[in-house]
Chain A
Amino acid sequence: GQNIDQPTEMTATEGAIVQINCTYQTSGFNGLFWYQQHAGEAPTFLSYNVLDGLEEKGRFSSFLSRSKGYSYLLLKELQMKDSASYLCAVTTDSWGKLQFGAGTQVVVTP
C-alpha cells in the first residue's frame, strides 16, 4: 500500500521553531509538496522538493531524503498566523496527481 505519515498535532510558542516530519512509502516518487491550510480555506503551496537536500524560502524550509522516504518542513520565528494545518503530499508520476498525508495541525501559543 501507499502511506504518507505525519504527526497529528504540534504546539509551539510564538517566535520558536517547529519541525514537521513526513515519512512516505509509495510506489514511485516524482516529488514532495508541502501545503499550508487554514481552517475552512483551500491549501496554499509552500514548497516542492524532488532532489535530496534543503530548500529555503524565507521563514520556511523543506528538506528531503529520498533514500529514507523522509521530509520535514521547518518553520522559524513562528507567528500566530502560522497556526494552521500543514499537509505533506507526494506525487508518484508525471501526471501531477498528489497523495496527501492527513495533515499536521500546528498551534502557536503566545
Chain B
Amino acid sequence: SQTIHQWPATLVQPVGSPLSLECTVEGTSNPNLYWYRQAAGRGLQLLFYSVGIGQISSEVPQNLSASRPQDRQFILSSKKLLLSDSGFYLCAWSVATEAFFGQGTRLTVV
C-alpha cells in the first residue's frame, strides 16, 4: 500500500533562517506530488505541484521554492523565512480518484 512520510512534525524557526521540509512517498511510482499550506483558521492553499522529477509548477508567488530530486521525494525550501510563512504545511500525492496527505509540518516563524 502507498504511504507518505513528511517531517519534521513541528518546527520553530527565527525570521531570516532557511527552511527545508521533506516528503517521501512509498508504494507508488511517478506520483503527482503537491505542497499545500493551511494558515490558522483558513482553508488549504496549493503552493507547488510536480508531475515528475525536476518538474515543478508554482501556484502562488511567495518566499518559498520546491524541488523534486527523485521520483518519490519532494522538498519545500526557503532561503530566508518571513513571519507570514508560519502555517501548517502538507505534502500530498494523488493517483486517479484518490488524493492523500502526509502528517503535516506545523511551522512557526518567530
- Whether the pair B102, A97 counts as a contact (CB closer than 8 A) is no
Interface size class of B (residues with CB under 8 A): 20 to 34
- Whether the pair A96, B102 counts as a contact (CB closer than 8 A) is no
Chain A stretch 58-90: residues in CB contact (< 8 A) with chain B: 87, 89
- Whether the pair A95, B43 counts as a contact (CB closer than 8 A) is no
- Whether the pair A45, B46 counts as a contact (CB closer than 8 A) is no
Chain B stretch 42-66: residues in CB contact (< 8 A) with chain A: 42-46, 49, 51, 59
Question: Which residue of the partner chain A has the closest CB to B50?
Answer: A95
Complex CA gap A61/B104 in Å reads 27
- Whether the pair A41, B97 counts as a contact (CB closer than 8 A) is no
Complex CA gap A101/B44 in Å reads 8
- Whether the pair A98, B44 counts as a contact (CB closer than 8 A) is yes
* A99 at the binding interface (Cβ < 8 Å): yes
Q: Which residues of B contact A89 (CB under 8 A)?
A: 44
* A–B Cβ pairs within 8 angstroms, 11 of them: A31-B97, A35-B101, A41-B103, A41-B104, A42-B103, A95-B32, A96-B32, A97-B49, A98-B44, A100-B43, A102-B42
